[in-house]
Structure 1
Amino acid sequence: MKPLPLKELIGVMNGEVVYGDENFVVKDAMVSHLHRIKEKHTLIFLKKRKAFHSDKVKRYSPYVIVTDKSDEEMKDIEAAGMIRVQDADDAFWAFTRYYRQLFELPIVAVTGTCGKTTTKEMLSHLLSSTHSIQSTIRSRNATRKSFQYLMRIDENTDAAVFETGLNGPGNLHYHCKVFQPTIGIITTIGVDHLDKCRTLNGYIKAKSEIVSGVRKGGTLILNSEDENTKKISLTGFTGDIIYCGTSESADYRASDIVYKKNGMSFTLHHKEKTYRTYLPGYGEHQIYNALFALAAAHKIGLNLKKAVIRLRAFENLERHLQVEEGINASVIIDDTWSSNPTSVAAAIQVLETLGNNKKNALLLGDIAYLGSHVREIYHDLGKLIASTKIDILIAVGENTKHLADQAKKYGFKGKVFTTASTALVKEYVENLLDEKTILLVKGSMMDTELIGLAKSFKMKE
């Protein structure tokens, strides 16, 4: 955070000093019930009806509290200063708006069912050679994290790239209210978080919050082929819209995609110019992620030819379709970072491409956040798997047996193994792995047992 004198902020928050030195220098800010204090000289927003635990912040004294609690409620709480406000929530947002407007810099907000983390990391990689960057740590993209990321921006920051997660309606509105992004990216919209959004249309509507969240005069970067993205209303958006994809209408278009060792090559088309490009990692969806990153970097001011060259040095992310040597000379594709129907389909496409002339095996764990739509979605995935060249389906979890049953119903010709036991899966898979087998392990970061299994199938270094 850029250090600010308290006296500069009192009026911003429409507050009055109860006690303390107005020359106190604020070096960080937090909301008491959402964040952990990290350093001294922190401004703490304490909301009415929220408890305050002095023992958790004592060692970071001095700090100043901004609160709408009464004198009686605050009488036993020690601080270097106290600012009384009418409404602590209003004061928090006034401070957030003020701090954001101190910096005229590009802020990119990335959302989508799949590809958020990779697109964010690719764009950060492209910009980092010429810009001082702030970005989301790994996939820690919850709404409560947004304010903390904003506080990491200071006078030395040139640009920021933030992943904006969604668990339900209102989440993207919150992220954008904090970040006020100048560029918004929607990678793709599949099926996810139906436990909170209830329906696919509800999920699409929640994703569309980013449209109104981009700053006036800002830019939207969209997938030119994604059918669900096309359902989002752009009425009222007055900024630039950039489309990325493989269709002729795309502003940044990819063609001639070729799988190579450890990655893919493709031709990038933009404004009648072409650039032959190499991208580490596999999958057509990765091409889209690269297009989003290249388009955003170019919009921010990076020379496109230099961006294409720098893309070659991007390191594919851990457990994102990570291809490694497995035991008994097999090949393991570890895709245990996140799981939803869209990413399952994309991963299977990679398995079939890399597994040409090999025995293809899929080890699939349960998919979370599907709400009451579990059986319907597993039905559709079973039908999809039946149409593939997969030789062995290994379904692990409470709901995946239904998926396996549907695959067989629709004519899946391969072997099927279903169990809830991780130990049984390990033994079964270890017996089938050999030099002719390629195994895709597909699950989410919450399924620690499946992550452990994937690791156990790899050759030890």
Structure 2
Amino acid sequence: MYPLRLRQIATLLQGKILRGDPDLVLTHVYYRRGRHINNRTLFFFYDSRGRKRPDLHDLSPGAVVTSRALLPHVPARLPVIVVDNPFRALWKLARWQRNRLTLPVVGITGSAGKSTTTAMTAAILNRVYPTLHTVGNLNTTYWYPFQILRVSPRHRFLVLEMGMNRLGDIRQHSRAARPCIAVITNIGEAHVGNLGNDLDNVVRAKQEILEGLSPNGTLVLNADDERSRRIDTRKVRGRVVTFGIKNPADYRAKDVRYTLTGMRFTVTLRGKSHTFDLPVFGEHMVYNALAAIAVADLLGVSPAAMRAGLRRFRPPKMRLQMIRGKQGRLLINDAYNANPSAMIAGLSILPHLPHRGKRIAVLGDMKELGALTHAGHARVGRYIAAHRPVDVLVTVGRYGRIIAEAARERGFGAVHAFTTRDEALRFLLKTPPGCVLYFKASRRLRFERLLRPLRQTER
């Protein structure tokens, strides 16, 4: 947050200081329990539906914003501003901060790859100026005030990942953030069960990012993604640019190939060809990099800075994260979340890895697919049988069994289907030394608990 005195905050929020020094300077904002809290933190204390109220006796913020009803739960030692509605006051402060910002804001959404694209974009932009970007999985509108209020005067770029659970989420996020560049990585099955089991509703949900796009802003679209081509761009008053590999695009990767350490490809920028190296595997990662390159180019970043940023990029946790396992195994943790397209994209990299061991896929239930649940899981099983990216298939869960059955029906014999993680773990502990284990499932299956016993113990 831009530094503010307690008296200034009270005025902005139309609140009243009950305790504390009016000249106390605060520089951070938070509203959940966490390591972000210190004596310069302004803590918004309110009841949030479905979330446990934090105990302020265990925390040490610099000051608290709350309602009179919750005042008895605030320790007497803490400065307090009382407002009618702390949650609305939080958004009021976030809007005030956004109105002060003059730095470029980039909004990134999509069914798959948005976290990785956000991280790649930030890795490039940080090569030229301090850049703030969405951390972890805090990409919903609930977390928007936290993200926007993290911006300080030193930052020159802001990159916001925009997630969704239902129609209207991205609209709210985009209208609040007002990006000058909006990116849609792709449009697939993720969350379709929350959107009436209609993929056209997923298109509509992603299109909501345009509602906050600044006048003369730029929309960045995937030229190779069929559903992205359904986005109605008529209301874009600025530019629409595209990225891709297969179809003509403004930012098109050519000579895409696997190396021993990742991917290499070339892109023509301003009439000159440039080669880029990524320290991660997969053609889908090239698409993410192309979106990041497009954003960087639109913001005037040099190709040299783009190359350096992508070389230093490291994927977010649980997204194609390479981990050393016991007995020389390679563990690939790609289990942050899953949908059929993303699962197939992850499987497609396995034949290209330099690792020589047996390849084993450990796949679990994919949630929030609604009426597409059976077809989506079966599609993955058929892909495995047709393309043989792995030697052995292990599935976990009720829907994971659909993957197993579809693979068996198409002639893939090395299949082991388990109901629980514990059953699967007993099997995985007996897998050959030096093998590759690829893990992918929806977040609710908590596959990180399955990986933990297989990891090499750090010394």
Q: TM over 0.5, yes or no?
A: yes
Q: State the 1:312 CA deviation.
A: 1.8
* 1:116 aligned partner: 114
* 1:141 aligned partner: 139
* 1:174 aligned partner: 172
| 1:250-309 CA distance string (max 9 Å, x none) | 111101111111111111122321101111110001001111112212222321233123
Q: State the 1:129 CA deviation.
A: 2.6
| 1:153-195 CA distance string (max 9 Å, x none) | 1211111222222122222123223322222221112111133
1:385 and 1:412 in contact (8 A); partners too: no
What amino acid does structure 2 have at the position aligned with 1:451? E
Cα 1:155–1:357 shift into 2, 3 Å: closer
* 2:396 aligned partner: 396
Matches within 5 A, 1:151-170: 151-170=149-168
Answer with 151-160 or 309-318: which moved more.
309-318
CA distance in 2 between counterparts of 1:272 and 1:286 reads 24
Q: State the 1:347 CA deviation.
A: 0.9
CA distance in 2 between counterparts of 1:7 and 1:157 reads 25
Answer with 421-430 or 228-237: which moved more.
421-430
3-state secondary structure, aligned to 2:312? coil
* 2:259 aligned partner: 260
What amino acid does structure 2 have at the position aligned with 1:453? L
| 1:53-108 CA distance string (max 9 Å, x none) | 796269657636475x7xx99799777565656x7666554432221121200122
Matches within 5 A, 1:239-278: 239-278=238-277
Cα 1:52–1:65 shift into 2, 3 Å: farther
2:127 and 2:305 in contact (8 A); partners too: no
Matches within 5 A, 1:56-455: 56=56, 60=60, 63=63, 65=65, 80=79, 82=81, 91-199=89-197, 200-323=199-322, 326-327=325-326, 329-354=328-353, 359-389=358-388, 390-409=390-409, 411-435=410-434, 437-448=435-446, 450-455=447-452
> Aligned-pair RMSD on alpha carbons?
3.5
- The number of equivalent residue pairs is 452
Cα 1:19–1:397 shift into 2, 3 Å: closer
CA distance in 1 between counterparts of 2:116 and 2:217 reads 22
Cα 1:317–1:63 shift into 2, 3 Å: closer
Cα 1:255–1:455 shift into 2, 3 Å: farther
Cα 1:8–1:122 shift into 2, 3 Å: same
Gaps of 5+ in 2: none
Q: State the 1:17 CA deviation.
A: 4.8
| 1:301-333 CA distance string (max 9 Å, x none) | 321233123322223444322345655555443
Answer with 274-283 or 41-50: which moved more.
41-50
CA distance in 2 between counterparts of 1:382 and 1:329 reads 28
CA distance in 1 between counterparts of 2:324 and 2:11 reads 61
Q: State the 1:364 CA deviation.
A: 0.7
Cα 1:187–1:243 shift into 2, 3 Å: same
Gaps of 5+ in 1: none
| 1:94-145 CA distance string (max 9 Å, x none) | 4322211212001222211221221121122112232112222222323222
1:41 and 1:64 in contact (8 A); partners too: no
Cα 1:307–1:407 shift into 2, 3 Å: same
What amino acid does structure 2 have at the position aligned with 1:311? L
Q: State the 1:147 CA deviation.
A: 0.7
CA distance in 1 between counterparts of 2:61 and 2:259 reads 56
1:113 and 1:342 in contact (8 A); partners too: no
| 1:222-257 CA distance string (max 9 Å, x none) | 211111211221221112222111145211110111
Percent identity (aligned): 26
Cα 1:443–1:103 shift into 2, 3 Å: same
CA distance in 1 between counterparts of 2:21 and 2:204 reads 45
1:391 and 1:414 in contact (8 A); partners too: no
Answer with 327-336 or 116-125: which moved more.
327-336
CA distance in 1 between counterparts of 2:395 and 2:48 reads 47
CA distance in 2 between counterparts of 1:35 and 1:343 reads 32
Cα 1:45–1:76 shift into 2, 3 Å: closer
Q: State the 1:46 CA deviation.
A: 6.9
What amino acid does structure 1 have at the position aligned with 2:319? H
Q: State the 1:408 CA deviation.
A: 2.5
CA distance in 2 between counterparts of 1:59 and 1:327 reads 40
CA distance in 2 between counterparts of 1:222 and 1:454 reads 35
What amino acid does structure 1 have at the position aligned with 2:448? I
3-state secondary structure, aligned to 2:439? strand
| 1:323-348 CA distance string (max 9 Å, x none) | 45655555443322222212101011
Cα 1:328–1:155 shift into 2, 3 Å: closer
CA distance in 1 between counterparts of 2:342 and 2:437 reads 16
